[in-house]
Amino acid sequence: MKKLLIIGYVWPEPNSSAAGSRMLQLIQFFQQQGYQVTLASPAQRTEHMADLTQLNVSCVDIKLNCASFDDYVQELQPDIVMFDRFMMEEQFGWRVSEHCPNALRILDSEDLFCLRHARHDAHKKNVAVSNADLLNSALAKREVAAIFRCDITLMISPVEVDLLIDLFKVDKGLLHYLPFVFSQHQLAQINPNFEQRHGFISIGNFRHPPNWDSVLWLKQQIWPLIRKQLPHAQIAIYGAYPPPKATDLHDEKSGFLVKGWVDNAISAMQLARVCIAPLRFGAGIKGKLAEAMLCSTPSVTTDIGIEGMQTQLPWAGEVANDAQSIADAAVKLYQELATWQSSSDLGKQNAQQLFQQDKHYLALEHRLKALLAGLAQHRQHNFIGSMLNHHHHKSTKYMSQWIAAKNKT
């Protein structure tokens, strides 16, 4: 049987983050292709992680800077190794190349880490991100180097594909667009109508800085403007790992209800009339907004929120970038049936265009088959990657061996 080894930055938590859900989608894809899947991670296991053994996925704990991984991967001899975020490629890429040189190396980026951090820094300074900011970023140099070193990188946003090609001069042959996906059954689900829904919703992992910033902005500036127009309105704030500073925002009197963890995000989204996602920085595409489309729930978000999720159709809701405009758009969608219904219908139409599982799985299947059949030739066309592998692996190898020796003493 063909073997896939996933080296995870964390153990996937599908109820905590879109990244966790995406990892399960990737596992499902490879199992459909007949792969025996192993997920190995140096991270601590958590009570919220998916039950991977129930999904027939082998789970292995590995250590950073430890030769035990060399013995393990040499014995496993996977056909494909997938690194979950570039940090895992930095740590384990040289070991995989040394002991499994013929394994196809995939990087799953989740989002472009350097772009998210550059936007966060720019937001704190109240300035726009420039190309120079990205080109001079140490994070960008690390992340893009990892992309060059791998055979293919799975990119969740077409905007980030274009950025890598245009700004960082990454060959498009090293990139593959793969957004979130939904099955046809999910895309065809029947959702509650306008009258059956009540309240607003905002959702997102509290450990993710863009989400925390959006909740704070919502609480301090946007929600009071909504309550002026809708005095009895309520909003449910859902998200994994709510810290005390988040739960302290809970206020029954103003209708700002911090709910924290949610067992079924789809059900919660289906019951809300409007989703509000006032994101001021970030990268990738937004799982909460993809789920809003799936649930026919109109959303109010920003230019950052819609990035990478646009079609030739209008957005399934409203796009605004200041507190008053966001509040006005949210109230309009909440009150006006015709406006709500039009946006609700657009959600399903956009989701069909963007997230069809069968279409994206088939494209990935063809891409991987072609790569596996011509891997040597593919690597010959990637001299920059070969050069970076040579130098990075030498330096990382000796640094890792030094740390391992230091740990022994």
Rounded mean pLDDT of 404-409? 69
Task: Tell me the pLDDT tens digit for each residue of 115-172.
Answer: 999 999 999 999 999 999 999 999 999 999 999 999 999 999 999 999 999 999 999 9
For 193-244, write each residue's pLDDT tens digit: 999 999 999 999 998 999 999 999 999 999 999 999 999 999 999 999 999 9
Return the residue matching tokens 């490879």: 30
Q: Residue 14, SS3?
A: coil
Contact status, residue 277 vs residue 284, Cβ threshold 8 Å: no
Model confidence band, residue 15 (pLDDT cutoffs 50, 70, 90)? confident
Report the candidate in 148, 140, 147 with the shortest Cα–Cα distance to residue 108. 147
Fold exhibited by the domain 184-354: Rossmann fold (3.40.50)
Query: What is the rounded distance in angstroms from the CA atom of residue 13 to the CA atom of residue 77?
Result: 27
C-beta of residue 4 within 8 angstroms of C-beta of residue 56:
no
Q: Which two tokens mark 317?
A: 């809701």
CATH number of 2-181+357-408: 3.40.50.2000
Write out the DSSP string of 333-373.
Answer: HHH-HHHHHHHHHHHHHHHHHH-BHHHHHHHHHHHHHHHHH
> Across the chain, what does the average pLDDT equal?
94
Considering Cα of 188, then 194, then 197, then 202, what sign does the dihedral take? Answer: positive
pTM: predicted TM-score of the whole model, two decimal places:
0.93
Radius of gyration of the chain (CA): 22
- Nearest 5°: phi and psi at 257? -110, 105
Do residues 316 and 307 touch, judged by C-beta distance below 8 A?
no
Element counts in the chain: helices (H) and strands (E): 19, 13
pLDDT confidence of residue 296: 98
Judge whether 20 and 50 are in contact, CB under 8 Å.
yes
The set of residues, in sequence order, having a beta carbon less than 8 Å from that of 366 and lying 6+ positions away, is none
Give the separation between CA 177 and CA 10, rounded to whole angstroms: 22
User: According to CATH, where is 3.40.50.2000 located in the chain?
Assistant: 2-181+357-408, 184-354
**Beta carbons of 311 and 270 less than 8 angstroms apart:** no
